Structure 1
Amino acid sequence: MAKPNVITKEDLINSAKECLIQNGIEKFTLRSVAEMAGVTQGTIYYHFKTKEQLYLDIVNDICTKSWKEISQQSNPYSLSEAVESAKSRSSYDSTFHKLFLSLIVSSFNNEKMRKQLGEIIQKENNELTKKLLSVWSISPINGISIEAWGIFINAIVDGIALQALVQKDFPVDKTFKELELLFKGLTHLLNKGD
């Protein structure tokens, strides 16, 4: 029996994430989300006009929750938990990055979607910059702003995730371990200059 149309958007996003985990992006439908949430398809369309809008809201929700968890970590001056969070979403079967990259491709022909994805990426860049500012008081390399480091790191993480999606044997653990060593080396350079 369907629940009344008194369901929050957040509950629907959580049901949609569960559907993605169970069915994969290839078999994901708004009908399956409605069934999982116990509501009508009309309720889904009321909150999300298109499947792509639901996808965007899922990506935004995952990113927002990840950064919230990272900001509440035990050692605010460590990048280890941020690296571990990124690594957890980078694999050959990563639902998150399949969804994210599918949206990017779709957005090339949809300016509204492109703008929304740009806002999500900018939010990630800003969160990375804040995280870096908690570790570095200044940039470890003269002439490169901490804001640019945030952009670079976000691009590196997305690039690693892309390679992991297309190469079954991609060395995710080794690559992220070495990325963390890069951060430690940059921090060491900065501390050496003090």
Structure 2
Amino acid sequence: MAKPIGKSKQELIQAAMQCLVDNGIANFTLKLVATYADVTQGTIYYHFKTKEQILLEIIKYICEDSWGKLFENDQFTISAALEIIKSRFKNDAFYHKLLISLIVLGFNNPLIKEQLGQVLMNENDSLLFGIKKLWRASPIDGVSLTTWSIFFNALIDGIAIQLITCEDFPIDTFYKELEKILITIQQLEE
């Protein structure tokens, strides 16, 4: 198949994200993405063979973009990291709804499971990179910085589940208090 002329893969991902925000996961189709991107379905299928593939690309894009913004000025702070994480809850938390939906699909699809596993490992690595900027060593003997990064990633995804399922989840209060906890942990290391 010849490469279609028109939109870049990145532009298609942007259109797909807007389509997802506007229509939700249940109504998300490659045909609808083509409409949002103002391209043919063939253009979409050239870049993304399946709906799941474009959804994985959206997850990867959000992860890389958010961590890239955080590290671009070498100004990693607890507050900045929490703001990036909170930004993923915008637009009705579609990032985490998408992530959880893909995890469920991964139960029966080894390729999706493998690709999501890589996304999560990249997230852990990004967190580890940030933690190393804040801490010279773990504040608790015998607990590696790698374990801290995995713990924080799991914590954030677990909070996302509560945010999605609990209508009155106190997100602002939670993140304000989480920031206090993290600053206190950081002070233990100093």
Confirm or deny a common fold (TM above 0.5). yes
Give the corresponding residue for 1:39: 39
1:103 deviates by 0.3
- Give the C-alpha shift of residue 7 in structure 1: 2.4
Tell me, yes or no, if the aligned pair for 1:67 and 1:127 is still in contact at 8 Å: yes
**What's the CA shift for 1:43?**
1.3
Percent identity for Structure 1 against Structure 2: 45
> Per chain length, whose mean CA-contact separation is higher, i.e. which structure has more relative contact order (CA < 8 Å, sep 6+)?
1
Say which SS state the counterpart of residue 126 (structure 2) adopts.
Answer: helix
Query: What corresponds to 1:96 in structure 2?
Result: 95
Task: List per-residue Cα deviations over 1:86-109 (Å, max 9, x = no partner).
Answer: 122237921111111100000010
Inter-partner Cα distance in structure 1 for 2:90 and 2:48: 28
Task: Identify the residue that residue 59 of structure 1 maps to in structure 2.
Answer: 59
**Does the 8 Å contact 1:5/1:39 carry over to 2?**
no
Q: TM-score, normalised by structure 1?
A: 0.92
Q: Which amino acid aligns with 1:144?
A: V
1:179-194 correspondence to structure 2 within 5 Å: 179-191=178-190
Unpaired runs of 5+ residues, structure 2, are: none
- Specify the code of the residue in structure 2 equivalent to 1:52: E
Letter in 2 for 1:68: G
Aligned residue in 2 for 1:49 = 49
**Contact kept in structure 2, 1:92 and 1:168, CA below 8 Å:** no
> Contact conserved, 1:136 with 1:187, CA < 8 A, in 2?
yes
Give the 5 Å matches for 1:1-194. 5-73=5-73, 75-76=75-76, 78-90=77-89, 93-191=92-190
TM-score normalised by length of structure 2: 0.94
- TM-aligned CA distance change 1:145 to 1:175, over 3 Å: same
Structure 1 counterpart of 2:134, one-letter code: V
Q: Is 1:91–1:164's contact at 8 Å kept on the other side of the alignment?
A: no
Inter-partner Cα distance in structure 2 for 1:186 and 1:125: 19
Instruction: Give CA-to-partner distance per residue, 1:87-136, whole Å, 9 cap, x none.
Output: 22237921111111100000010001100000000000000000000000
SS at match of 1:186: helix
Structure 1 alignment gaps of length 5 or more:
none
Matching residue's letter, 1:123: N
Aligned residues: 187
Distance in structure 2 (CA, Å) of the matches to 1:130 and 1:74 = 11
Helix, strand or coil: the match of 1:95? helix
* Whole-angstrom CA distance in 2 between matches of 1:48 and 1:27: 17
Q: Does the aligned pair in 2 maintain the 1:124–1:154 contact within 8 Å?
A: yes
**Could you tell me which amino acid in structure 2 is paired with residue 42 of structure 1?**
G
1:49 is paired with a residue of what secondary structure? coil
- The alpha-carbon deviation at position 11 of structure 1 amounts to 1.1
Q: Is the 8 A contact 2:15 2:36 kept in 1?
A: yes
Find the residue that maps to 1:93 and give its secondary structure.
Answer: helix
**C-alpha contact (below 8 Å) 1:70/1:82 kept by paired residues:** yes
